[in-house]
Every structure is written in C-alpha cells, then in structure tokens.
Chain A
C-alpha cells in the first residue's frame, strides 16, 4: 500500500481512530468486569488428578455466576460479583515457584488482574504468599495443603486466604478414624512423596496417632519415594516385609494410580490395610481397579463423599459438571468451585454493606475475613489464622464397589466437625498435635 496518497492516508487515519475508539470502549468494558486469574495445572503430572478437575469446577461456577444461574443460597444474589461480570484468565501453574511468581507479578502489574483464585501445589502457594502480600493482591488458595502457609510463611495475612482445611485436618481425621475402626491395629507405616505435601501428611498423621493411640508403634522405615517416580516395586516389597499392618499414604494422581496397579499385582492390598488421604481423585477413573476396601479421604467432604449431599447447590453442581465433562466431580473440582464461591460471597456481601455500590478491595477482604459461607458440599468457616484460613467438616470412609449401581461408593463413613480436626485459632498445628490436641471438639 502506498501511504503517500491521500486516500491511503485517510484510510490509515480512520483505522487508527477506529482502533482508538475500540480500545477506549474495551477499557470501559474492562472497568465493568472483575478480572479473576485462575492458575491451575493444565500440563504436567498435576493436571489429570487436580489441575483439570479444578479448572472444570471453577469454569462451571464462574459461568453460573456470570449468568446468575447459581441455585440457593446464591439464587437471589444477581449476576456477577457485586453485579460485575467475571473475566477469567485461566492459565497453567506448571513450571515451579520462580516461574509462577514472575507470572503472578506479570498478571498483577501488566494485565490488571483484580484477584487470584487458584494454585494447587503447596510449593507454589508457599512461593506466592509473600508476593501476594507485597503486591496487596487479593489471593484465594482453594486447594494447596501445607499448613506452613499461615503457620510459618505469613502468620498475619491480610490479602491471602485459603478456603479449605490443611493437611493437619487430614492427619487428625485419619487418626480418629483408625482409632474408632481399627482399635487393635498393631502398628503403622507409610509411603508418602518426598516433598512438602508428603512430609507434612505423614508428620501430622504420625503425631495424631501418637496422641490418640500412643501404644501403637510407627515404623522407622516409612517409605519416601521421589514425587512422580512412577516405579514403586522396591517400596512395595519393603512395605510387604514390614510387620506393621496399616499403611498410610498421601500419594495422589499418577503416582497413586501407578502404586495401586503395582501393589494390586503383588497382593499388597490383601496383605495390608491401606489408608489413602486423597484417593478420591482416582476412584472414578480407576473403576474396579480402585483399591476396594481401602480407607480413603478426599481432604474434606468433597468428591465421592459429596455424592449423597442432597442440596440444590450440590445436585446442580454434580449434574452440570457431569453433563459437561462426562465424569463426576472429584475433590479438586469441589475445592476450586468453593474458592470461586468465596469470591462471590465476599464481593456481594461487601457491596451490600457498601450501599449497593461496587466494593473496594479492602471491603471485599473485610467481608471474607472470619465469615462463614456455603460451599458446594459444606459450610466453610473462615475462622482460623485471623479469619484467613478455612475450617470445614471432614470425612473418611471405606471404598467399596456398588454392584447395582456399577460404580464406587463410600461406606462406613465418619464425619468429623471442623473444630475436631483443625487446630484452634492462633495455635500452630504441630504444637497443637504435640500438646494433645487441646480444645478439640469431637
């Protein structure tokens, strides 16, 4: 094109003006939306078990919030967050803490993100927490499990929230369950991945067992495979040779599934009683290959444990999710949805307190601090770590195969209240466990 002639210059000018108008219109539209970043594992080993189910769960809720189709108790709260549509930026959490911190800064400083609802890995959450506080960015962790977030990394958070219980709740609930259901157990060992999640899980289960069943010995040869190693033949031999009849495991995703295949082929599940903290992520996928008869958890009342929760919100969520993704929601789906609902609850509550006007960030934070809101499967009590850490009820049970329904079901389920399994406000979980879990209401 020749830009020296008049028509061409006019066309260029017109194009420039149109672009400028379009831009300003876009900016105006942007002001009417809430930009929500949703980091989750879309690639790598964390994607199938947690990342993609979490994305799916978040998508279902975000769409319903934008359309105003959420069932009760959110059916009268109108569309969007305090009336504004959510613009979701769903992106990959893979790559480790350093990359995610850079991405977090980029999203905050260059892409105008208003809040984050995401992160699955304990390692990522640990890396993001100080940066979120530094940048004063409202950040809701829906899943990551390490108790260290508010017990070591930031004991006085303002901008960071976590909307589910942490690993201490899992360990305590499991120990209570073992005490009630396996009172004569002669000892326990474990196989947990050698990183923050696996170490914290074993530590808390072990400490809780020492309090609740002090005469039951723990093995000094608990297994510590590398995360994502996929090969467990040697560990399975060691577990089968050990004299302890109970095996605790917080393996998840592909590691859990590989362990189940390899253990089943060698008769491990006939010889030992297995207790899996997060096996719910695999029960639908594995079908009859799932560890039938094992004690399992879902890190709370989620996934398969919510199958019989008969509320409009849960029934709607399960139907929409399964229609759309051709599978039932697992723990990660529920937990991510619960995180997004926290934003819905907080923005709407803050707007109501602000005379119906769109609230400021500080008003949203104030609305969520210490609040109790309805998650998909249970009530979420934001009453730990100065109102920034959630406590919910917890459930543990035995996995069985329902021949009539042709699918996995939970049996012998025990429900534990939030004040039974989570350390009280202001008390470090490890100290609480070592001190005999004082103040627990079971």
Chain B
C-alpha cells in the first residue's frame, strides 16, 4: 500500500512537471499550428533567469518568501521578451510558408538561442536551491517528500485551470477558439488575428519559461537543459493530441504515472515506457488522444 501511494505521489509530481513543460507548446500549436522548437529555449532561459534573480534576491535582506516572486518575474520577463521578439521578428514572416519550413526556422532559432545563452551565462552551472530549502519537507505514507515538489502539482492545476477558464469563459478565449476553428473566417469577421497570434505566442512562451523557472531551484541550471525538455514535451503533446490542453494534461498524467510505476517496479524499462505509450497511442489514434478529427478543406 505504501508503495502504491508513493508511486501515485511521484507520478503526480512528474506529471505536473511534464504538463508545465508541455502546455505552452500545445497552446502555441493549437492556435498557430506551429511546432515551436524554441520552446526548449524558453524553458532554458526561464531557468537561467530564475536562478539569476533568485540568487540576486537572496543577496538582499528582504523577506525569504519573496524569493518565490523572482520565479514568476523570471517567467514573465523571458516569456514577454522572447514572445514579442520571435513572433514579430521571425514567425510573422513565415506564416504563409509550409509548416516544415517553420519547424526548421524555429529549430535554427533554438540553436542560435543555445549559443546566446552560453554568451550570457557561460558554461558554469547556476544554483537556486533557496526556495526548495525554505519549504522543507512533508511525510506522506512514511515517505519524505520535498514540499516544493508538491507545490508543482498545485501550480500545474492552477495553470491548467486558468488556461481552460480563459479559453472557455472569457471573450478573449472565445475569439481564440474562433481563430483555432477557422483562421480565415475569423479574419473576415473582424477579429484581429495578428494580435491573437502575438498574444498566444507570448502566453505560450511564458508557460515554457515558467516551467524552467519553477524547476530551477531543484536542478543544476546548466547548458543543454532545454534540449532534454523539448523531447519530453513533444512526447506528451503528441500523446494528448497536438493543440489540446486537456490532452496535454491527460498525456502528462499517463506518462508520469506509468513512468513512476516503472521506476518502482521495473527500473530498467523506465526510458522505454514513455515512448512505448507514445507509439501505442499513435498506432491506435494517430492524431493523439484529444485532438479532434480534422475536416479537410477543399
């Protein structure tokens, strides 16, 4: 029983991590139909910015819990900056081009940003462990968990719920859904699609950066972290269905809990599990679990 509870908690924590790194990717794809490889850069820049701001914050005598604000500030700074620069400076020139060209362009930008990151922060790792130390630990089923990791579950729920409410209950969300449904008709009806695209890309970038910023206190922030994340994020998004927020959530849960079970019961197949689920879903439902079937335009 203890092992079962631990698997569930571990699975939920890892699922939350997966959801946080995947949700921005799926939001951007859902609206703009762009497979955005620079998402890995948003994650990495978010983590570096977070580590830098946290480090600077704890150099001051300000209240300890204020350090958490640094995490969200980092996500906002990185997301807004790169959202505007990349959408206005690169992507808007490519919307009329083939999807594959856009993927290649974002991949090229990802490589460029990896070098920019090295130019700014160098190769030395950055540590920002203070927020994690501050929250201490809790015992669940006689197992000690870092409280900070458990807050990741809450953050994922808030982000998922916020995006869902924003999409379904607000005017802006309805405009977004209209654009997702049919970009051309939306434009004809007077929706400012250019603005919708820009705002969507910024939100997606903030989500990617928030993933990195929130994870930063638990890791050694070092070169290459964005590369690993993008692969996992793609796997989750493909399983859930490209562009579906509930899909990303279910995909993350499926992968997270299956992986946790594998680590506890059959650790040698930990790696295999994630991609086995992806292969299985693609074999049965190639568009992913939650992506609606696409009507072909003639």
Q: Which residues of A contact B146 (CB under 8 A)?
A: 233, 262, 265-266
B267 close to chain A: CB less than 8 A: yes
Chain B stretch 100-134: residues in CB contact (< 8 A) with chain A: 114-115, 118, 123-125, 127, 129, 132-133
> Which chain B residues lie closer than 8 Å to A228 at the CB level?
224-225, 227-228
Residues of A within 8 A of B123 (CB): 42-43, 47-48, 51-52
Main secondary structure of the interface of A (DSSP, over half): helix
> CA A52 – CA B143 in complex, angstroms?
38
Nearest A residue to B13 by beta-carbon distance? A233
Cβ-based interface call for A155 (8 A)? no
Q: B228 contacts A230, CB within 8 Å?
A: yes
Q: How big is the A interface, by class?
A: 35 or more
Q: Smallest CB–CB gap between B8 and chain A, Å?
A: 11
Contact A229 B228 (CB under 8 A): yes
Check A240 against B143 for contact (C-beta < 8 Å): yes
Smallest CB separation, A423 vs chain B (Å): 27
CB neighbours (8 Å) of A233 from chain B are: 10, 13-14, 145-146, 149
Residue of A nearest to B115 (CB): A43
A23, CB-defined interface residue at 8 Å = no
Q: Does A235 touch B at the CB level, under 8 Å?
A: yes
Inter-chain contacts of B13 with A (CB < 8 A): 233-234
Decide yes or no whether A407 CB sits under 8 A from chain B: no
Alpha-carbon separation in the docked complex, A194 to B268 (Å): 9
Q: Nearest A residue to B269 by beta-carbon distance?
A: A224
Q: Are B270 and A225 in contact (CB under 8 A)?
A: yes
Given the complex, which residues of A lie within 8 Å of B227, measured CB to CB?
A: 44, 228
Render B32-59 as a binary contact track against A, CB cut-off 8 A, 1 for contact: 0000000000000000000000000000
Q: Which of B214-243 contact A (CB under 8 A)?
A: 215, 217-220, 222-225, 227-228
A residues in contact with B264, CB < 8 Å:
221, 234, 237-238, 241
- Distance A169 CA – B289 CA, assembled complex (angstroms): 49
- Please indicate which of the listed interface residues A256, A262, A285 has the most CB atoms of chain B within 10 Å of its own CB: A262
Return B204 CB to nearest CB of chain A, in Å.
Answer: 22
Interface mask (B264-286 → A, CB under 8 Å = 1, otherwise 0):
10011011000000000000000
Residues of A within 8 A of B268 (CB): 224
> For window 36-72 of chain A, which residues contact chain B by CB distance below 8 Å?
42-48, 51-52
Q: Cα distance A232–B237 when bound, in Å?
A: 22
B197 lies within 8 A of chain A by Cβ: no
In the complex, the chain B residue whose C-beta lies closest to that of A255 is B220
B129 with A289: CB separation less than 8 A? yes
- Please give, as numbers and ranges, the residues of chain B lying within 8 Å of A237 by CB-CB distance: 6, 9-10, 143, 263-264
Nearest-CB distance from A368 to chain B (Å)?
31
Is B192 in contact with chain A by the CB < 8 A criterion?
Answer: no
Q: Does A15 contact B (CB under 8 A)?
A: no
Does B186 interact with chain A (Cβ within 8 Å)? no
Q: Give complex CA distance A349, B17 in Å.
A: 57
| Docked-complex contact A45 and B224, CB < 8 angstroms | yes
B215: chain A residues within 8 A (beta carbon)? 230-231
A221 in contact with B219 given A230-B228, A257-B127, A261-B129 (CB within 8 Å): no
Which of the residues A43, A222, A258 comes within 8 Å of B219, measured between beta carbons?
A258
Q: Complex Cα distance A289/B133, Å?
A: 11
CA distance A190 to B264 in the complex (A): 13
B187 at the interface (CB under 8 A from A): no
User: How many Å lie between the Cα of A254 and that of B260 in the bound state?
Assistant: 22
Residue of B nearest to A265 (CB): B146
B260–A234 touching, CB < 8 Å: yes
Q: What residues on B are CB-neighbors of A265 within 8 Å?
A: 132-133, 137, 146, 148-149, 218
The answer to whether A44 and B267 touch (CB under 8 A), given A233-B149, A234-B14, A261-B129, is no
Q: How far is B216's CA from A230's CA once the two chains are assembled, in angstroms?
A: 10
Encoded as 1 (CB less than 8 Å from any B CB) or 0, chain A from 167 to 186 comes to 00000000000000000000
Tell me if A240 and B222 are in contact (CB < 8 A): no
Q: Are A223 and B127 in contact (CB under 8 A)?
A: no
> Whole-angstrom distance between the alpha carbons of A238 and B13 in the complex?
14
In chain B, positions 189-231 with a C-beta closer than 8 Å to chain A are 215, 217-220, 222-225, 227-228
Q: In angstroms, how far is the closest chain A Cβ from the Cβ of B169?
A: 33
Nearest CB in chain B to that of A226: its residue: B271
User: CA A235 – CA B270 in complex, angstroms?
Assistant: 10
Contacts of A48 in B (CB 8 A): 123-125, 220, 222-223
Distance from B146 Cβ to chain A, minimum over Cβ atoms (Å):
4
- The smallest beta-carbon distance between A96 and chain B, in angstroms, is 12
Judged by a CB distance under 8 angstroms, whether A253 is at the interface is yes
Would you call A312 an interface residue if the criterion is a C-beta within 8 Å of the partner chain's C-beta atoms? no
B144 within 8 A of A: yes
* Contact flags A115-153 to B (C-beta < 8 A → 1, else 0): 000000000000000000000000000000000000000
Interface flag for A356 (CB, 8 Å): no
A241-B127 in contact given A44-B224, A253-B222 (Cβ < 8 Å): no
Question: Residue A267 at the B interface, CB < 8 A?
Answer: yes
When distances are taken between beta carbons in the complex, the residues of chain A under 8 Å from B9 are 237
The closest CB in chain A to the CB of B274 belongs to A226
B220 touches A257 (CB 8 A): yes
| Nearest chain A CB to B52 CB, angstrom units | 16
Q: Is the CB of A234 within 8 A of B263?
A: yes
Q: In whole angstroms, how far apart are the Cα atoms of A255 and B115 in the complex?
A: 21
B133 neighbours in A (Cβ, 8 Å): 265
* Cα–Cα, bound, A104→B2 (Å): 53
**Bound complex: CA of A181 vs CA of B188, how far in Å?**
78
A234/B219 contact (C-beta < 8 A), A224-B267, A266-B145 known: no
Instruction: Report if B182 contacts A (CB, 8 A).
Output: no
State whether B6 touches A241 (Cβ < 8 A).
yes
Q: List 16 A-B contacts (CB under 8 A).
A: A43-B123, A47-B223, A52-B123, A221-B264, A224-B271, A226-B228, A230-B228, A231-B218, A233-B14, A237-B143, A241-B143, A253-B220, A257-B127, A261-B129, A261-B220, A265-B148
* Nearest 10 interchain pairs by C-beta: A257-B220, A45-B224, A265-B146, A234-B10, A254-B220, A47-B123, A254-B222, A258-B219, A44-B224, A234-B263
Q: A241-B264, A258-B218 are in contact. List 15 more A-B contacts (CB 8 A).
A: A43-B118, A47-B222, A221-B264, A223-B267, A224-B268, A224-B270, A226-B228, A228-B227, A234-B14, A237-B9, A237-B263, A257-B220, A258-B220, A261-B218, A266-B146
